[in-house]
Amino acid sequence: MSVSTPADSNASKDTQSTVFPPDSRVSGVSSTGAKHMCYCVTHLQPGESDEPSWTGGKPIINKTQKCARIHFSDRESTVFEWLCARASIALSFRDDDPAEDEMLWSTLRKSSLERMGLWPKYRDSFKTATKVECGLLKDGEFWNLYEGNPEMEIDRSVMKNIPMFDEAFDVLNSRHRIGDISWTFLPSELQY
């Protein structure tokens, strides 16, 4: 597997124009101890320039936050917070052109993505997601949370819409036993 290039918390303009989401690894030392950033659009803000751009991301703290590793067919995997991964991949099952003021999820509108230069790039970038894993970070490395290291395959020839994706995501989260998480700060009865 090739080595990923670390990204900082404010990805460069070059990165913004070529690939989304950027590599989640944080370069350098973070004041929070985070080794990864979640680049879910709900954690981003519009940039300060006149051109559409974005800044931000949310640190993913080791051993304390359930997260997902998203694998892609056309680039390295990246780490998102668990629910952010679900919402981001689910959005990729939409092929329509929503109205400017339509809520895509939570408080996110299409117009917000456009202001950051991320529509339809954000939706389309997750169309190449091939699988997702549930886990935690340990010393900046992803560890699958469940016994047997299960991965949810995203086969778009079978999984054709958001409800089908959501059902598979729920199965991944509910039908597997949690492995040894004694090294975490989480309770052994972890429920999500």
pTM over 0.85: no
Predicted confidence (pLDDT) per residue in 74-112, tens digit: 999 999 999 999 999 999 999 999 999 999 887 889 999
For residue 187, give every residue at least 6 positions away whose Cβ sits within 8 Å of its Cβ, in sequence order, or none.
none
What is the residue extent of each domain of the chain?
A: 13-174
* Higher-scoring residue by pLDDT: 187, 47: 47
**pLDDT(8) > 80:** no
Handedness of CA 131, 92, 140, 3 (dihedral sign): positive
